Amino acid sequence: MAANFEEVAKQFVQFYYETFDSDRTQLGNLYREQSMLTFESSSVLGAGNIVEKLVSLPFQKVKHEIATLDAQPGMGDGSVIILVTGALKVDEEERPMNYTQTFQLAATPDKQYFVYNDIFKLIY
Amino acid sequence: MAANFEEVAKQFVQFYYETFDSDRTQLGNLYREQSMLTFESSSVLGAGNIVEKLVSLPFQKVKHEIATLDAQPGMGDGSVIILVTGALKVDEEERPMNYTQTFQLAATPDKQYFVYNDIFKLIY
């Protein structure tokens, strides 16, 4: 698995932002009870709270564009840590906002991945 | 320990950049053989290779300014994951460069911390 971490990272990030941009109510499947999200320095724990936070964000339309993606094997068996930089546009706003986001994906014994750590920060 | 992760993160990041900016040959003490650095998408494994990479960077003077720091408990026992955004100036260059960096700190059984994951990326 460890040799494959870059492919896992790419596939995850692509799927994550596609889901976020099309229907972010579906993101709950990517988190578990022990998952933590820190969004603009505000932290919530657990899949239910995380989806509630993401759905409550004050925009209807959103589009993420990935600029860079770097990955390493994480600390847990099969886990992957990812650093993304990118830009996002919300609603009718023309000017993109730059952001950075780090994920740590955990692997279950049957090779399912979920998000263990998720920290999102806008860059001004 | 887990309740203390934010304090660990702040102290580590402050110490890390102070050491980097004053004498980066000393950063080797913060890494171990299993540590990985990905610097501008180029990866090296192990404390020796990491310090060699950091020392070889083509500037004499460097100054990091932290803009934001967010932390969460990481995946290992006592571990901490950190996302930093900031700016750095090198040599006589007046214009700072923006960067983002994520660390995962591992804790040894006797509560020593070392850098397990380190991903650094300039933001253009």
ipTM comes to 0.95
Nearest to A20 by CA among A62, A48, A49: A62
**A119:B36 CB<8 A:** no
Kindly report the number of other CB atoms within 10 A of residue B23's CB atom. Answer: 10
Structural tokens at position A76 = 């847990």
Gap between the Cα atoms of A97 and B6, Å rounded: 27
CATH number at residue A59: 3.10.450.50
Chain B residues interacting with chain A (CB cutoff of 8 angstroms)? 36, 38, 41, 43, 68, 70-76, 79, 81, 83, 85, 98, 100-102, 104, 106, 116-117, 119, 121, 123
Say how many domains are in chain A.
1
Residue A1's pLDDT band (cuts 50, 70, 90):
very low
pLDDT digit string (tens) for B26-44? 999 999 999 999 999 999 9
Question: What percent of chain B has a predicted confidence (pLDDT) above 70?
Answer: 98
Q: Round to the nearest angstrom and report the end-to-end CA distance of chain B.
A: 37
Per-chain mean pLDDT for chain B: 95
pLDDT digit string (tens) for A46-103? 999 999 999 999 999 999 999 999 999 999 899 999 999 999 999 999 899 999 999 9
Cβ-Cβ contacts under 8 Å, A41 against chain B: 68, 70
Gap between the Cα atoms of B43 and B119, Å rounded: 9
Residue B2's pLDDT band (cuts 50, 70, 90):
very low
Q: Looking at the predicted structure, is the pLDDT value of residue A3 above 60?
A: no
Most B-contacting residue of A50, A83, A97, A99 (CB-CB within 10 A), to test interface: A83
Instruction: Domain of residue A85: give its range.
Output: 2-123
